[in-house]
């Protein structure tokens, strides 16, 4: 079986978890790589890389590399990678944490609807000041990206009495539209949930013009990738009062700088890219890694293989 290099700090516990998940005597040899300098030094010997985040510009010397198994669903921190040899296959963990991400999107939506940011502040102030808040029932939720997460969000929204419009590259139902109807979907959405991967096609998809297609007072929830939304345009739309609020779990730059204006934008909930951090996060991906190493050696299709051209 191939040698697996784990790029993570700390990584010893992942090595032990891989051994624990492998049938006795059948698991791969695991080498822990603690930092980028060591990864660069070892790049010529690596066959299989198991990593959460990978550096850019290091792949030209990766003469033995056959598989990169990512610890998350997105490949935007790796791709595009013009120096990555074409033979190298990439796999992710698409859908493994869809329940957690969808629940987080719905939690942010409900928090905005029930004005929880304001209520928490007033609780800190011990201020008893009742006020009316909006309801989600009979409102329209637009969902960009009808994959595993988007479909779960849609079911939750429908259970709350909302109308759901979805955007997908492969429209397959009367209310799941193709990319050519994006502007129409935005204009119809009281709540917009972003569940898209970051690719060349989706980068800055929600720019100044498109954010202003949303109805006045609409809420935006992003659990996809930060780069899909133009953050400066979003900040403007919030401060000008066009948008009623936003729930944001992902950002252009992470960790989010303390100087980023979104921290102080009105009616914004910020969470630190934790929507998909389910219990035993890495342990739930290890079976995918082991199965994909087996598939790689057997010449079979990989589970959750990434399309390098599409970017996800």
> pLDDT by residue (tens digit) across 226-273?
999 999 999 999 999 999 999 999 999 999 999 999 999 999 999 999
Tokens of 232: 């400066």
Q: Reply yes or no on whether the pLDDT at 310 is more than 80.
A: yes
Same domain for 61 and 72?
yes
Same domain for 228 and 122?
yes
Same domain for 175 and 29?
no
Q: How confident is the prediction for the chain on average, in pLDDT? A: 96
**Residue 24 pLDDT class (50, 70, 90 cuts):** confident
Q: Are strands 4-7 and 30-33 parallel, antiparallel or unpaired?
A: parallel
Phi, psi for 180 (deg, rounded to 5) = -70, -15
Q: Which residues of 130-157 are buried (b: 16+ CB within 10 A; e: fewer)?
A: eeeeeebeebbbbbbbbbbbbbbbbebb
Average pLDDT of 130-144?
Answer: 96
Same domain for 126 and 73?
no
**Residue 1 pLDDT class (50, 70, 90 cuts):** low
**Lowest mean per-residue pLDDT among 14-28, 54-68, 238-252:** 14-28
Catalytic machinery residues: 225, 254, 273
- 49 strand-pairing partners: 5, 68
Same domain for 152 and 226?
yes
In the chain, count of helices (H) and strands (E)?
9, 12
Average pLDDT of 63-91?
Answer: 96
Residues of the domain holding 243: 98-270
CB 257 within 8 A of CB 232: no
The SS3 assignment for 257 reads: coil
d(CA 94, CA 246): 25
pLDDT, tens digit, for every residue of 163-192? Answer: 999 999 999 889 999 999 999 999 999 999
Q: Tell me the CATH number at 54.
A: 3.40.50.720
**Lowest mean per-residue pLDDT among 21-30, 65-74, 234-243:** 21-30
Same domain for 78 and 174?
no
Same domain for 128 and 67?
no
- 191 strand-pairing partners: 141, 219
Same domain for 103 and 248?
yes
pLDDT score at 109: 98
**Residue 23 pLDDT class (50, 70, 90 cuts):** confident
Same domain for 265 and 232?
yes
**Residue 144 pLDDT class (50, 70, 90 cuts):** very high
Same domain for 262 and 289?
no
Q: How many domains does the chain have?
A: 2
Other CB atoms closer than 10 Å to residue 282's CB: what's the count?
17
């Amino acid at each position: 079986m191939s040698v697996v290099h784990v790029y993570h700090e700390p990584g010893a516990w992942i090595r032990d978890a891989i051994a624990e998940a492998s049938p006795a005597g059948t698991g791969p040899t695991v080498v822990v790589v603690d930092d980028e300098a060591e990864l660069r030094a070892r790049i010529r010997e690596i066959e299989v890389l198991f990593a959460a985040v990978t550096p850019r510009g290091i792949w030209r010397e990766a003469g033995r590399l056959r598989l990169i198994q990512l610890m998350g669903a997105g490949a935007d921190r790796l791709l595009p990678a013009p120096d990555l040899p074409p033979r190298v296959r990439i796999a992710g963990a698409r859908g493994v944490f869809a329940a957690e991400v969808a629940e987080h999107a719905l939690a942010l939506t409900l928090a905005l609807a029930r004005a929880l940011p304001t209520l928490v502040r007033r609780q800190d102030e011990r201020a008893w000041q009742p006020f009316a808040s909006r309801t989600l029932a009979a409102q329209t939720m637009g969902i960009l990206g009808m994959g595993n997460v988007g479909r779960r969000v849609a079911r939750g929204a429908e259970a709350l009495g909302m109308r759901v419009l979805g955007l997908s590259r492969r429209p397959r139902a009367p209310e799941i539209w193709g990319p050519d109807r994006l502007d129409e979907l935005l204009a119809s959405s009281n709540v917009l949930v972003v569940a898209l991967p970051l690719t060349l096609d989706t980068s800055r998809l929600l720019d100044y013009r498109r954010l202003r297609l949303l109805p006045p007072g609409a809420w935006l929830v992003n659990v996809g990738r930060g780069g899909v939304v133009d953050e400066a345009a979003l900040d403007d739309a919030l401060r000008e009062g066009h948008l009623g609020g936003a729930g944001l779990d992902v950002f252009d730059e992470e960790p989010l700088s303390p100087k980023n204006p979104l921290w102080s934008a009105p009616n914004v909930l910020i969470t630190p890219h934790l929507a998909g951090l389910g219990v035993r996060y890495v342990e739930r991906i290890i079976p995918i890694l082991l199965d994909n190493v087996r598939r790689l050696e057997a010449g079979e299709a990989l589970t959750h293989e990434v399309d390098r051209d599409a970017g996800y």
